[in-house]
């Protein structure tokens, strides 16, 4: 039950003061707290065990305590324990109190006494006392394994009993409900008829009793009970199989044996399930490291595994460790980022009207010189403008790539540290530090590449001259008077805004445009190739060794306590391990006990 496995139990329910505790007292032959107000304020589990010695042994178990007591003090001890669990007032609690009674002659029974149901709160009780008690009762009578012992006072009309209404909610046909009618001595009139009519559908039948009254001894009470049902003119009509505490004890032992044997296979299944779940949870718990040597070996193994995974993902493009997680397929994702980068550079252009930027540049670079020479500085100025327009794109691309690599590295590290969370934070810190410095270096190199392009227009690629000539071939069309003219590579262009410019300026500007256009193609290709190779190199260096070295430095850092600090386990994990170990040993023990019982049943069935 401690492990949340429902065991078959006999749950005693009844309206307030119906005589529940008195019935249990009669069965156990010991005094329990009795009274006319609310007495039972917490679930009281009474475990009766017949034992051979004449001395009885009584023990109370609650919260984390085990308290020994004896027959004369048990009622007081129960009241004190109840006060401790539910407070001194009239409050109630779900926390159970267990009373173990080992006594000669008692039936082997385990029963749970629950607070009596009352609609009206008595002085000092919370307004919602009915709901609180109903909740407790429902919790215990709902499981199919529970047998409901419904205690009804002979003095009341059974259909009006709250306890009947509640047990009917969970056991409509009454097949797991047994009724005990108390106070038969107080209301003998019509009792025979009442139990025979069975208006409230009690599947397991009725047993009428007369409990101990006042200071009577149990023996005295039993004798008076026997006499009552034998001699009373009205009560003697009730069948003898339906009267008296001894009959009740016998019926309960029988019912308990039946439900236990019916529920055992299911209980075994539940124990096994719980056991398996706990064992696998224990196996999955972070491992405990007991020595520095073990910590170093484990650490180096994790570092090695992480490096291997990163090489596969970042360099070799092998994704068998993450077949379904596309975000971890790095070579492909980085290639996509590179494609996007190359697109972004290509579309970065100025917003001026056709040829206007070139004309403005020519205006500003004119000098006292021959007119048919294109000034070199004009091309240079135009090149600078183009580079300025795209200057941020390469650095942003590098940042994006390394941010992405960081998420992959962290995921890999976290995965390999799953069972050793004490390594995780150190490794992720090291990875982040390293990536940030690699990112910085990488950005510097890329900015250098951009800077280089500003130095001078140069290429040995023959494509430049070929493309320039191809574009320039349409230069003659600038002489046309049409507002839209065909300019080959540039398409059909509306040139009405150029009408007032002399043809010489227009031709020079177009020549400049053809040159820069042909050259820009070369620049983009060169830049993308160069940045891509540079990136590949830094990723490779990172995956091949830099990362490992950084992590080892971070973890071995003597100032921070070195590798020893990894031996310290998280308290929550240690607690969980302890709890699981305890639970596993308890479940194994229970499994052995249940197996023994089932063997006994099998033998007796044979
Ligand atoms: N005459 C007579 N009185 C009884 C009998 N059974 C119980 N009583 C009395 O009825 C009163 C209530 O009995 P309890 O056993 O305390 O009832 P309970 O249902 O356990 O009470 P709560 O747990 O407080 O709801 C006590 O004073 C008992 O002595 C009986 O068979 N005959």
**Sheet strand arrangement including 206-208:** 65-69, 57-62, 97-103, 44-50, 109-113, 10-14, 147-153, 177-182, 206-208
| pTM recorded for the entire structure | 0.56
- When pLDDT is averaged across residues 17-22 and rounded to a whole number, the result is 87
pLDDT in tens, 177-191: 999 999 999 999 989
Beta strands at 97-103 and 44-50: parallel, antiparallel or unpaired: parallel
- When pLDDT is averaged across residues 136-142 and rounded to a whole number, the result is 90
Distance 174 CA to ligand 1 centre (A): 24
pLDDT in tens, 559-601: 666 677 677 777 888 889 899 999 999 999 998 888 888 887 7
Specify the higher pLDDT residue, 92 or 341.
341
* pLDDT at res. 350: 63
Report the alpha-carbon distance of residue 483 to residue 65 in Å, rounded: 101
If you take atom 2 of ligand 1, which residue's CA is the nearest one? 183
If you take atom 13 of ligand 1, which residue's CA is the nearest one? 19
* pLDDT at res. 348: 65
CB atoms within 10 A of CB 152: 26
Q: What's the chain's average pLDDT?
A: 87
274 CB near ligand 1 (under 6 Å): no
- When pLDDT is averaged across residues 318-324 and rounded to a whole number, the result is 90
* pLDDT at res. 340: 93
If you take atom 32 of ligand 1, which residue's CA is the nearest one? 183
Name the band, by pLDDT with cuts 50, 70 and 90, for residue 215: confident
Report the alpha-carbon distance of residue 530 to residue 303 in Å, rounded: 31
pLDDT in tens, 34-45: 665 556 789 999
* pLDDT at res. 602: 74
Name the band, by pLDDT with cuts 50, 70 and 90, for residue 552: confident
Percent of the chain residues past pLDDT 90, beyond the cut: 39
Report the alpha-carbon distance of residue 294 to residue 297 in Å, rounded: 5
If you take atom 16 of ligand 1, which residue's CA is the nearest one? 34
Report the alpha-carbon distance of residue 6 to residue 144 in Å, rounded: 9
* pLDDT at res. 115: 83
213 CB near ligand 1 (under 6 Å): yes
- Decide if pLDDT at 272 tops 90: yes
Which residue's entry shows tokens 């009408």?
499
Name the band, by pLDDT with cuts 50, 70 and 90, for residue 458: confident
Name the band, by pLDDT with cuts 50, 70 and 90, for residue 389: confident
Beta strands at 10-14 and 109-113: parallel, antiparallel or unpaired: parallel
Alpha helices, DSSP H only, in 8-66?
20-28
Cβ-contact 467, 518 below 8 angstroms: yes
* pLDDT at res. 402: 94
* pLDDT at res. 208: 95
Beta-bridge mates of residue 57 = 102
Pocket test for ligand 1, best of 22, 132, 185 (most atoms within 8 A of CB): 22
HEC profile for 123-144? CCCCCCHHHHHHHHHHHHHCCC
* Structural tokens at position 104: 């000669």
Percent of the chain residues past pLDDT 70, beyond the cut: 96
222 CB near ligand 1 (under 6 Å): no
Q: What is the full DSSP assignment across 249-268?
A: HHHHHHHHHHHHHHHHHHHH
pLDDT in tens, 326-367: 999 999 999 999 999 998 888 766 677 888 999 998 888 877
Report the alpha-carbon distance of residue 350 to residue 327 in Å, rounded: 35
- When pLDDT is averaged across residues 512-527 and rounded to a whole number, the result is 92
34 CB near ligand 1 (under 6 Å): yes
Name the band, by pLDDT with cuts 50, 70 and 90, for residue 131: confident
If you take atom 3 of ligand 1, which residue's CA is the nearest one? 183
Beta-bridge mates of residue 110 = 47
């Amino acid at each position: 039950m401690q492990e949340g496995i429902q065991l078959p139990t006999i749950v005693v329910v009844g309206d307030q003061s119906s005589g529940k505790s008195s019935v249990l007292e009669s069965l156990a032959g010991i005094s329990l707290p009795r009274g006319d107000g609310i007495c039972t304020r917490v679930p009281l589990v009474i475990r009766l065990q017949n034992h051979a010695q004449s001395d009885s042994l009584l023990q109370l178990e609650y919260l984390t305590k085990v308290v020994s007591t004896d027959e004369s003090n048990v009622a007081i001890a129960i009241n004190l324990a109840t006060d401790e669990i539910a407070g001194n007032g009239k409050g109630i609690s779900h926390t159970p109190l267990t009373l173990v009674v080992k006594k000669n002659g008692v039936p082997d029974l385990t029963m749970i006494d629950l607070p009596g149901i009352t609609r009206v709160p008595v002085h000092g009780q919370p307004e919602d006392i009915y709901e609180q008690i109903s909740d407790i009762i429902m919790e215990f009578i709902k499981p199919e394994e529970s047998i409901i012992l419904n205690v009804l006072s002979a003095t009341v009309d059974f259909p009006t009993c709250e306890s009947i209404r509640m047990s009917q909610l969970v056991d409509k046909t009454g097949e797991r409900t047994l009724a005990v009618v108390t106070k038969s001595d107080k209301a003998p009139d019509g009792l025979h008829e009442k139990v025979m009519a069975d208006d409230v559908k009690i599947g397991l039948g009725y047993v009428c009793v007369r409990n101990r009254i006042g200071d009577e001894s149990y023996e005295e009470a039993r004798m008076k009970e026997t006499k009552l049902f034998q001699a009373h003119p009205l009560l003697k009509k009730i069948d003898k199989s339906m009267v008296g505490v001894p009959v009740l004890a016998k019926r309960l032992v029988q019912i308990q044996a039946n439900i236990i044997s019916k529920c055992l296979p299911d209980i075994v299944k539940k124990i096994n399930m719980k056991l398996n779940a706990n064992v696998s949870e224990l196996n999955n718990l972070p491992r405990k490291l007991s020595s520095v040597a073990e910590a170093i070996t484990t650490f180096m193994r994790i570092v090695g595994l992480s490096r291997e995974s990163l090489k596969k993902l970042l360099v070799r493009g092998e994704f068998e460790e993450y077949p379904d997680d596309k975000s971890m397929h790095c070579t492909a994702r980085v290639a996509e980022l590179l494609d996007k980068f190359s697109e972004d550079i290509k579309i970065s252009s100025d917003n001026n009207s056709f040829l206007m930027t070139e004309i403005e540049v020519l205006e500003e670079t004119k000098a006292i010189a021959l007119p048919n020479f294109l000034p070199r500085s004009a091309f240079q100025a135009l090149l600078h403008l183009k580079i300025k327009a795209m200057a941020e794109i390469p650095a942003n691309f590098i940042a994006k790539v390394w941010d992405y690599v960081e998420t992959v590295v962290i995921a890999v590290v976290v995965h390999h540290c799953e069972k050793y969370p004490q390594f995780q934070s150190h490794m992720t810190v090291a990875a982040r530090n390293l990536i940030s410095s690699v990112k910085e270096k990488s950005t510097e190199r890329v900015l250098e590449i951009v800077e280089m392009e500003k130095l001078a227009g140069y290429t040995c690629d023959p494509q430049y001259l070929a493309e320039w000539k191809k574009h320039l071939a349409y230069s003659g069309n600038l002489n046309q008077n049409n507002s839209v003219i065909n300019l080959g590579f540039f398409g059909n262009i509306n040139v009405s805004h150029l009408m007032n410019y002399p043809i010489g300026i227009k031709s020079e500007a177009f020549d400049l445009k053809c040159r820069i256009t042909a050259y820009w193609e070369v620049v983009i290709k060169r830049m993308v190739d160069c940045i891509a190779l540079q990136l590949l190199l830094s990723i490779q260096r990172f995956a091949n060794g830099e990362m490992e070295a950084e992590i080892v430095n971070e973890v071995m850092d003597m100032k921070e306590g070195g590798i020893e600090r990894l031996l310290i386990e998280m308290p929550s994990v240690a607690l969980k391990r302890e709890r699981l170990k305890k639970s596993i040993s308890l479940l194994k023990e229970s499994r052995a006990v249940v197996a023994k019982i089932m063997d006994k049943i099998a033998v007796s069935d044979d």
